[in-house]
Amino acid sequence: MSQKRSGALAPGIAFITGGARGLGNAIAVSFAKEGARGVAIVDIQDGATFQEGKNKVEEYGCECITIHADVTKEADIERAVHETVTKFGRIDYAANFAGIVGPGSIISDIDIAAWQKTQDVNSTGVLIATKYEMRQMMSQSPISGIEPGRIEQKGSIVNCASVNSLQSLPGSSAYTASKHACHGITKTAALEGREHGIRVNAVSPGFLLTKMIEETVLGGDMSLGKEMWSSFEARQGRKAKFEEVGDVVVLMSLPRMSLVNGQNLFIDGGFTINEANN
């Protein structure tokens, strides 16, 4: 008789950079909903935003710690991993979602410091987080008892890319390059991790109206404007909810996804395969 699957889908420990708000926080909440024993929110936000993000996780009865750490600083991320392991004993699922939009200028006008900052956060930040998450995952035993008969999983890492890991737009060179690099890091980490029972994948969300988008793309540096944003949403098919990204990251993290490694899954309602603007 075949064994039935039962119990929580994701009973392990989740570690989420950029987890205080936006898509990162939606992932934290999705892990909590699916039975995670603990969640670590890693971010550089203010105390109130951290508290709001933590409250949303705790609503589902999941223990949550908040760690102020900058993904561009190795010592910060090493400390964040250490604090999480001291509290919860291990890290089963990592999601690297800290990110910024960067400058919106065309290449002939681009400010190199602003370009560099974008690479520091969106690509080097993903590399640093992956480095310390993988070290921890390599050192721990596989998560037990949730997928009888499957390949054992010591850990899963999901990095946040973007439709800009495939496509581009004038004035998006820094963001586009950083997200292409994110997928490159993911592919290499996937090959390095598999002999250790660690899978590393990326996801590419489509268009979600987070604070980052409100502050930059709609109003600030990039200033694409509301009309352009509406046309993106039209090509995506509709407006999207943050939890539609959170839930996918949880599913990607499960040992049930055992043969999925080094991939970049687009969560965009068909945006990238749609030739039309509607």
What does the binding site for ligand NAD look like in residue numbers (CB under 6 A)?
A: 17-18, 20-24, 43-45, 70-72, 97-100, 121, 125, 160, 162, 205, 207-208, 210-213
Phi, psi of 15 (to 5 degrees): -125, 120
Instruction: Name the minimum Å distance from CB 23 to ligand NAD.
Output: 4
CA dist 135 and 152 (Å) reads 17
Known catalytic membership, residue 211: no
Neighbours of 94 (CB within 10 A): 30
Residue 14: which residues within 8 A CB-CB, separation 6 or more? Answer: 27, 28, 31, 36, 38, 39, 40, 91, 92, 93, 94, 95, 253
- What's the Rg (C-alpha) of the chain? 18
CA dist 139 and 92 (Å) reads 12
Among the listed residues 54, 179, 187, 226, the single catalytic one is 179
Among the listed residues 175, 187, 211, 239, the single catalytic one is 175
Residue with smaller CB distance to ligand NAD, 70 or 133: 70
Known catalytic membership, residue 175: yes
Q: SS3 helix, strand, coil % of the chain, rounded to 5?
A: 50, 15, 40
Residue with smaller CB distance to ligand NAD, 138 or 212: 212
Instruction: Name the minimum Å distance from CB 22 to ligand NAD.
Output: 2
CA dihedral 132, 40, 247, 201 (to 10 degrees): 0
Instruction: Name the minimum Å distance from CB 152 to ligand NAD.
Output: 30
Residue with smaller CB distance to ligand NAD, 125 or 193: 125
Q: Residue 251 carries which side chain, given as an amino acid letter?
A: L
Q: What secondary structure does DSSP assign to 3-62, as a single string?
A: PPP-S-S--SEEEEETTTSHHHHHHHHHHHHTT-SEEEEEE---HHHHHHHHHHHHTTT-
Instruction: Name the minimum Å distance from CB 2 to ligand NAD.
Output: 38
Instruction: Name the minimum Å distance from CB 56 to ligand NAD.
Output: 13
Return the active site residues.
Answer: 175, 179
